[in-house]
Structure 1
Amino acid sequence: MVAGVGDGRPVTERSFAELVAEATAAPVTGWGFSWLDGRATEERPTWGYAGLLAARMARARAALDVDTGGAEVLAEVPTPPPLLVATEAWPPNVALARRTLRRLGAGVVQVGAAAVLPFRDGSFDLVTSRHPVETWWDEIARVLRPGGTYLSQQIGPGTMRELSEAILGPLPPATGRHPALAVAAAEAAGLTVVRLEEATLRATFHDVGAVVWFLRKVVWTVPDFDVDRYRPQLAALHERIRAEGPFVAHARRFLVEAHRPAR
């Protein structure tokens, strides 16, 4: 049975209005997904980004984490480098990341929309990012020291397409966020890609509240998402889950590791 929520009743016993109201009121600050425990699941890539991150951080002297969110993943690094800095654009996440990283002695710098990292050339021997909003390859190459490494897990093309189309209707083929485009952009910035892996991962939603919360948090799935605007589609999805069982979509991820050539 799916876990109970709110007043303790299982989600299967709660109405559409109750589930949507609860998910709309729930906070979405940071980049943790514990609110979905018992209500949605997503497979993880076999490469294990958190483990790779920890290993690279243990060997680094100065590291930068870009688009850190609430720093939930970065905070789990067991052996941080002597200098560790993160960037984040969304103000609520900046405050959360600063609290989260306080025990590591790491700094968090708020950045704007401009494609500029506010650091000197060659400041870091490691730059990382998990699910960056946009990868500024020229800036990453600039702030890396010669011989430095960029490690990133990124969103692949057409991720969660089934969910997007359940709300928006049929969509044209996905063109952005393709691994081949990432490789080309990295090489154009002067980096050498040494590792590239791709994964398609099953994601399962057990109730429409989980869908609503996910769409509020992962905003690129339905860029103009608003509960009132898409209430008929959400109601149809609610009835579909009740009649057919959990809604299944597929997340797409790719891992890219690139080096700045040594002098």
Structure 2
Amino acid sequence: MTANRSFEDLVAEGAAVPTEGWDFSWFEGRADEARPSWGYARSAGERLAGAGAVLDVQTGGGEVLDLALGAAEPGRPLTVAATEGWPPNAAKATALLRPRGVVVVAAADDAPLPFADGAFDLVLSRHPVRPHWSEIARVLAPGGTYFAQHVGPASVFELVEYFLGPQPEEVRAARDPGRERAEAEAAGLDVVDLRAERLRMEFHDVGAVVHFLRKVVWMVPGFSVEAYEPRLRELHERIGREGPFVAHSSRHLFDARKPGG
């Protein structure tokens, strides 16, 4: 329980927790987020079960791909590769996924994918920084599928704007699913399904906020406890008076196909 803990203790704990990978189990009991209705890891596992060669782009620490591969057993794909651009995550993903026979390749998020044309019949990605549509289309075989969950527009902006103030409309509109559909189609993909949901989040203590903003670094660029101590203290007091800080995540599911095959 965190209700009676001091501001200093909570902030110190949130600042000390390691941030590598995309394992969010530390937040249990301290922050909650509703999950999209489509169940990405389970749905990806269903796609994996029928695939032969698979690429997971921007795999993070490999946790979601690991779950999807577990859901796909015993009909797992014959060939699986993953890319990751941040060295600590790449190391974590390698350790986690090597026992499953997955090759993790270090590749910058905005760099060309280091694979041959048409190498994969399934490309996955969960929360890519920015989809590299021309490269996704290039490495897909004709008839292949891109199946991914993206972060949508103005995701968790209640928290972002608490620290940064109101954001310009062009910033709020970034990651718009309609715009991404147009970009995917311009790269030659047919969008078979595109679904979007906005989901409730609750932060139950200021330590959870500190850890979240350290882990998801693009939310409040340059975030540090020292730089935002007054706002963090105000937030701690607000949670004590009013209960959890409520925000909303934005997610959309992409199911796109490369013509042919």
Under a length normalisation based on structure 2, what TM-score does the superposition of the two structures give? 0.95
Partners of 1:115 and 1:139 within 8 A in 2 = no
Q: Which residue of 1 aligns with 2:119?
A: 123
Partner of 2:258: 260
Query: Paired residue for 1:241?
Result: 239
TM-superposition CA deviations, 1:153-206 (whole Å, max 9, x none): 000000001001111122222121000111001000000000000001000000
SS of match in other structure, 1:11? coil
Gaps of 5+ in 1: 1-9
Residue in 2 aligned with 1:5? none
Q: Please give the alpha-carbon distance, in whole angstroms, between the structure 2 residues aligned to 1:112 and 1:221.
A: 20
Q: Residue by residue, what CA displacement relative to the aligned partner does 1:189-231 show, whole Å, maximum 9, x if unpaired? A: 0000000000010000000000000011111211221111111
Q: Note if contact 2:84-2:109 (Cα within 8 Å) is conserved in structure 1.
A: no
Identical positions, percent: 56
CA displacement at 1:113 relative to structure 2: 4.7
Residues 88 and 110, structure 1, Cα contact 8 Å, conserved in 2: yes
Q: Which of these residues, 77, 85, 89, is aligned with residue 89 of structure 1?
A: 85
Moved more, 234-243 or 216-225: 216-225
Matches of 2:110 and 2:129, distance apart in 1: 12
1:48 paired with 2:46, answer no
Deviation at 1:135, TM superposition (A): 0.4
Cα RMSD, aligned residues only: 0.9
* Partner residue of 2:211 out of 192, 210, 213: 213
* Matched residue count: 254
TM-score (norm 1): 0.95
What is the SS of the residue equivalent to 2:66? helix
1:187-226 equivalences under 5 Å are: 187-226=185-224
Conserved? CA contact 1:43–1:201, under 8 Å: yes
Q: Report the Cα offset of residue 115 of structure 1.
A: 2.8
Q: Distance in 1 between the 2:125 and 2:249 partners?
A: 18
Q: Structure 1 CA distance, aligned partners of 2:98 and 2:118?
A: 25
Moved over 6 A (4+): none
